[in-house]
Amino acid sequence: MNGLPTADFFAFESLLDPKEQAKLAELRAFLATEIAPYASEWWNKAEFPAHILPKLAALELSTPAQRGYSNLFAGLVIAEMTRVDTSIATFFLVHHDLFVESLYGFGSAGQKERLLEDAASLRITGAFALTEPGHGSDVAGGMETRARRISSATGKSDAGGDAWVLNGAKRWIGNGTFCDYMLVWARDESAGADGLPGAVRGFIVDASLPGVSRSRIENKIALRTVQNADIVFEDVQVAEADRFAGINSFEDTNRLLRGSRIMVAWQAVGQQLAAFDVARQYAVERRQFGRPLAKFQLIQQQLVTMLGNAVASMGMMARLAQLQDDGAADMPQVALAKSYTSARMRETVALGRSILGGNGIVTDYRMAKIFADAEAIFTYEGSYEINTLIVGRAVTGVSAIV
């Protein structure tokens, strides 16, 4: 929109250093030419565009913080991707912020040497398999997937064995249909201190191993370009060398989720920027009663509410990025960011959809896709409700989750 201010109304982008600003501009140019023209078609057909991976990798934006960029930059990268296509941003986030970051944080020297370079440059792709058919919000306590340590020579249980056998099922796993590797979470069958099955462990599982079967989740109304899978593990044998040595409890998993949850909150920002972009353009161009929609006071009020929501969400995220830079962002702060931004997002995309009238429900005008994709953001990485209750617990000292 020539001459009009951007949705980054308080110029958060100006807080980036010049190198970061230039990189963000490079990303924008890539998204405008390689993603924007095709994103609705991929979404309508529920097809993942694997052919873009080499170009995406060439941007060298995998795990920006590991490359010396600020956390604000890392967040704005995800927001900017989401602004153009939520599905591509989600692919990127699952692969880089969950799989690759896990390798950085918890991989052994051998695992890093074997996988990190290929994963960071998207020559191999990864997934993060935590949720189960029977356990979403309560997966920490309810996890049913089991890992039993064995000797590969005898196939028998062996507390000091060189292999593990995995059995169980996972659901909703992003990139799950095509990934080369997945990080699988399972409960160690050996008894914990209370005599019940013990610690949660993480395994790098080669998706082509015998006993792994995966099927695509069909008929989604959100993130249709992302390939989510149901995955079953039936006596899958994994080497002890493929266990994440750094993971010994669900607390370790939570440390990982804290980082990716922040990125999902940035997605809620990107979703609002997208809704504002599309709604404003429509309001300026679409004419009813002989004048542009933008001339109606109610439409202006709706647009300003959308902008205010987006700017407030960005403000919260920019401060959270500073806390991250200082190593001080804790889970309740992250949970508040996720719940607040996703609530604002739901209002913002609903207003945007309404401004487009009937055209707001067909993907040809982009808004329908933005509206629908927001629902996935609302639910994944801890639903709105669960994140709200994490904050509620922190500020009252009383848990209302269980």
Overall residue count recorded for the chain in this entry: 402
Crossing angle (nearest 10°) for helices 250-285 and 331-355: 20
CB nearest ligand FAD: which residue?
136
Q: Phi first, then psi: give them for residue 25, nearest 5 degrees.
A: -65, -40
By CB under 6 A, residue 380 contacts ligand FAD: yes
Would you give the binding string for ligand FAD spanning residues 35-74, x where CB under 6 A is met? ----------------------------------------
Kindly state the number of chain residues that form the binding site for ligand FAD, as judged by CB under 6 A. Answer: 20
Distance, CA of 23 to chain centre: 21
Nearer to ligand FAD, 100 or 303 (CB): 100
Nearer to ligand FAD, 70 or 102 (CB): 102
Beta-carbon contacts of residue 62 (< 8 Å; ≥ 6 apart): 96, 100, 119, 120, 121, 122
Among 42, 99, 128, 164, binds ligand FAD (CB under 6 A): 128
Beta-carbon contacts of residue 149 (< 8 Å; ≥ 6 apart): 157, 158, 159, 160, 161, 163, 164, 188, 189, 190, 240
By CB under 6 A, residue 228 contacts ligand FAD: yes
Nearer to ligand FAD, 328 or 401 (CB): 401
Among 36, 379, 393, 394, binds ligand FAD (CB under 6 A): 379
Query: Could you tell me the two tokens for 164?
Result: 């593990």
Nearer to ligand FAD, 23 or 95 (CB): 95
What does the alpha-carbon distance between residue 349 and residue 98 come to, in Å, rounded to a whole number? 26
For the bound state, the minimum distance from the C-beta of residue 9 to ligand FAD, rounded and expressed in Å, comes to 30
H helix or E strand, kind and range, residue 263:
helix 250-285
Among 376, 390, 391, 392, binds ligand FAD (CB under 6 A): 376
For the bound state, the minimum distance from the C-beta of residue 225 to ligand FAD, rounded and expressed in Å, comes to 11
For the bound state, the minimum distance from the C-beta of residue 98 to ligand FAD, rounded and expressed in Å, comes to 7
Nearer to ligand FAD, 136 or 357 (CB): 136
For the bound state, the minimum distance from the C-beta of residue 373 to ligand FAD, rounded and expressed in Å, comes to 9
What does the alpha-carbon distance between residue 70 and residue 64 come to, in Å, rounded to a whole number? 7
CB 175 within 8 A of CB 94: yes
Distance, CA of 400 to chain centre: 26
Site for ligand FAD, rule CB under 6 A = 94, 128-131, 136-137, 172-174, 223, 228, 376, 379-380, 383, 385-386, 389, 401
